[in-house]
Structure 1
Amino acid sequence: MRIIALALAATLAAGQPAPVATTGQAAPVATAGQAAPVAADVRLTLPAPTGHDRIGTVSLHLVDASRGDPWVPAEKRRELMAQIWYPAATVDGYRRADWVTPGIAAKLAPPGSGFTVPVTDGHIGAPAAPGRRPVVLFSPGLGMERTTATALVEDLASHGFVVVTIDHTHDANFVEFPDGRIATLALPVPTDETQEKAMLAKALAVRVADTRFVLDTLTAIARGRGPSVPRGLPRALDLNRVAMVGHSMGGATAAETMRVDRRVRAGLNLDGTFFGRVLDTGLDRPFLMLGAATGDDGTWTRMWTKLRGPRHWLELQNTRHLSFTDLQTLLPQMNTPAEQAEPLIGTIDGDRSIAVQRPYVRAFLDRYLRHRPGTLLTGPSPAYPEMRFPH
């Protein structure tokens, strides 16, 4: 389990490596590397959602005037971008959203790169379907954007969840605001373990504050206040049924947010190192740890003993840290050489990895937000032999 610290393979189009650090390791290592040439104008794709619900999406520019930006002191208000994915009443006449915003797409896939970013199954501004829906918050890994688990997020929306993804400004590579400004990564680069721990502790605290602000904003929306959203969406938000999912640092954020905010009733960590006070206090609500079978980093065993509510520990064979992001299916489409891709996404087929992860995440959320059986959580399944239950 690792924490992506300082940037994903952000400029995918240029094939530029991005620095990655793990806890206790400040030195960067290469990530995606130089992808092999691809045919001109190849459109990258994500696996289609498996649910019956059509999907709407809307992006929100949120401004927290109560605090300045913790990473860029000149910015006196904390600005965030969030995106809501939800079951739609109709999608006729509403165009599909791109995987990332235009300004970020131009960085990831500039002219001459040979490919373009995916188009999602979310339709911008579509009216929400009737009915109240459980709400799932998503936080990405450090140095990563809110879009990096779109294949998982839109699948949950197709099965009736409202999913809210969060960009943590300046700890993401890129965050584009509606006026075209693009905020870039501004985390300090640690030079020793002490500085790294301090940076990560600050990043965690900032992310928890971001998440709680997003929750407050959703409460305002549900009450008919706050940002304008598509028709029917305020009534769809059931904020008595909230869970949080996160990858890497986002998984640690989910746990720490649960510690301080009881509005979050269940949490899920996708291959992230735990840290923060939650390692001492533990949690009394449902929590799932789903990661690569590459060895416990110590914090998972420690956290496991502190979980006093329903708990689950799953490992997906032949995966690596970025197998829990969209890159597991995008890097192979870019013809990334195996020796560069496998340390990041393992040897499992990317589409198969997504096909296995989706039902387990959904089973957890179904059980603890919808009071459904979630039978996949009870033990190994012959349909998914890659998933192991080590505890």
Structure 2
Amino acid sequence: MYAWPASEVPALPGEGRDLQIHDTATQGTITLDPGPVARIYVCGITPYDATHMGHAATYNAFDLVQRVWLDTKRQVHYVQNVTDVDDPLLERAIRDGHDWTELAERETALFREDMPALRMLPPQHYIGAVEAIPGIVPLVERLRDAGAAYELEGDVYFSVEADPHFGEVSNLDAEAMRLLSAERGGDPDRPGKKNPLDPMLWMSAREGEPSWDGGTLGRGRPGWHIECVAIALDHLGMGFDVQGGGSDLTFPHHEMGASHAQALTGEYPFAKAYVHAGMVALNGEKMSKSKGNLVFVSKLRRDGVDPAAIRLALLSHHYRADWEWTDAVLEEAQQRLGRWRAAVSRPDGPSADDLVEEIREALANDLDAPAALLAVDRWAALQESDGGTDEGAPGLVSRAVDALLGVAL
């Protein structure tokens, strides 16, 4: 599966900063030291109702991670999946009377249009669940044959007891896990399971639903978590630098994925850091497909909203914060974009060397984009009030804002 075109990232003078970021597993800030090639896996969309502002906020956060690493002159190996077969997708297709493959293809195509408009850097590998099935089946067979998985009425479940580190990503107690499992696609109350939390690895074929050849597993389709594990292990290996996604993926998705991989390989950890973006709300409720309270990037673009303003609206909130999308948030971003563009349009201005370092410092400090925006605001205000004589300053500000924040001025 192809991703989308990459926008050019301008090179900046000086040196970037190593990234300090909040790790969900340790519940503290850690300094990432990836080496010459940084490895990151970000969980992608289930392709229906794309691309809403919650999606955009999540991918904006991990785009910043890439940009900080690129500024340190590292290469970035970025992998993202598309869950192009799953219960929610099939349910939506039936509800709306659409073929599920056409729905997935249409929404994935829309996502591909929105991402470059927002200047999100593409992954090197963009992999659909369906195309990953040939690599998923052997992993499920290995887990079953090793005693880390078991069959139940034709389905195959992972035994969470097979991983001694189970629970170390989310740090939740068993009851909280059970409640979230029921809420987020699990089946903790199914009779016959060894542990209510055990997640499905392979679902045997159901009448009227798509299925694939599973070798010794029989016809069926993969569970949600093993999909990402197969893709990540294939393209990144164990111990990659960042596992990313929205905070609603902490449990069960990232918890289960880590346990699958650790049971498969006998190695620990699956990822060095688990990084999660906050949720975006609308009208007081989390923006979600099930509630239907979604603001779409494509709709805003069709209405003539500059994608750079959308990106600035996202950047005005810390990536880990839960926040609410409002007309006022967008209006403030549009006004900020206008001020910045006016400031860099002049032939000269105040020196911007310190500003570049302020942006770098803010982003290295757990992706503090709001602090970076305020630093640019101060430079723009100084430009408006006093101006300056540095002929290279406006160009440097424009390049820095593009390279580090992904906003084209």
More RCO (CA 8 Å, sep 6+): 2
TM over 0.5: no
Question: Could you say which structure has the larger radius of gyration?
Answer: 2
Q: Quickly name the TM-score band, shorter chain normalised.
A: under 0.3
More helix by share: 2
Structure-2-length-normalised TM-score: 0.26
More strand by share: 1
